[in-house]
Copies of this chain bind each other. A is one copy, B any other.
Amino acid sequence: MKEELLATFSNHFEQPLIDEILEEGRLMEVPAGETIMDIGQYIRSIPLLLSGAIKVLREDEEGDELLLYYLEQGETCSVTMACCMGQTKSEIRAITETDTRLVMVPVQKMEEWMGKYKGWRNYVFESYQNRLNELLQTVDSIAFKNLDQRLVDYLKKKVEVTNDNQIRNTHQEIAYDLHTSRVVVSRLLKKLEKMKKLELHRNYIQIVNL
């Protein structure tokens, strides 16, 4: 864990801070597909990602979902932080996209470090900025783009995050992430296949050239 922490965060964090994280943080290994945070939960610690990827999504009253963005190595979830600081319930759900290693830091420590370590403070602010920008991208995407383009973007991002040219999801799962219906996804995927951008198989999609 120490080497991983250093490799991932040593450009951000000063040595004493790394030591404290080692002491106070709890290492977790989570397999793909687990919900590590859910809407309505109170949050007592925040995650620092060592490896893997986490998808963050939003849900409305009717249970409709929408993928907001992915968290990757070295990142943390600012929306969660915001909940911690504000003592409010989580506004989002977080699900591991791949097998993931992360360090959970208790929220009290996190606040303490804000005053104590410049590196931490900068990291936290940078995270907020990254999240704000990702959210702006998400808004752009749903406001300005049509489903065709959103689907292509989604597939591209998925390939990047999982580091795998085969997307091992059903059309239904993709539909949930994009907040649309299975039929529509099937239709658009078929169109992309006809354009030779991908090949459809049972339970996975072979990306050729998006």
Contact = CB atoms under 8 A, between A and B. Distances in A.
B132 A128 contact: yes
Nearest to A138: B139
Interface stretch (A58-66, A181-189, A193-201): A58-66
A143 B66 contact: yes
B82 A128 contact: yes
A131 interface: yes
A58 B132 contact: no
A118 B116 CA distance: 12
A69 to B, nearest CB: 11
Contact of A79 (B92, B132, B179): B132
A128 B126 CA distance: 11
Given A58-B140, A115-B118, A133 B82 contact: yes
Taking the full assembly, how many copies of this chain does it contain?
2
Contacts of A139: 58, 66, 68, 135, 138-139, 142
A67 to B, nearest CB: 10
Contacts of A58: 136, 139-140, 143
Interface of A: 58, 60, 62, 64, 66, 68, 78-79, 82, 85-86, 91-92, 114-115, 118, 121, 124-126, 128-129, 131-133, 135-136, 138-140, 142-144, 179
A132 B78 contact: yes
15 contacts: A58-B136, A58-B139, A60-B144, A62-B144, A78-B128, A79-B136, A82-B129, A85-B126, A85-B129, A115-B121, A121-B121, A128-B132, A132-B135, A135-B139, A144-B179
A194 B159 CA distance: 50
In the complex, which of the residues A131, A135, A138, A143 has the most CB atoms of chain B within 10 Å of its own CB atom? A143
A139 B68 CA distance: 9
Contacts of A144: 60, 62, 64, 66, 179
A143 B57 CA distance: 12
A68 B85 CA distance: 24
Given A58-B139, A118-B115, A132 B129 contact: no
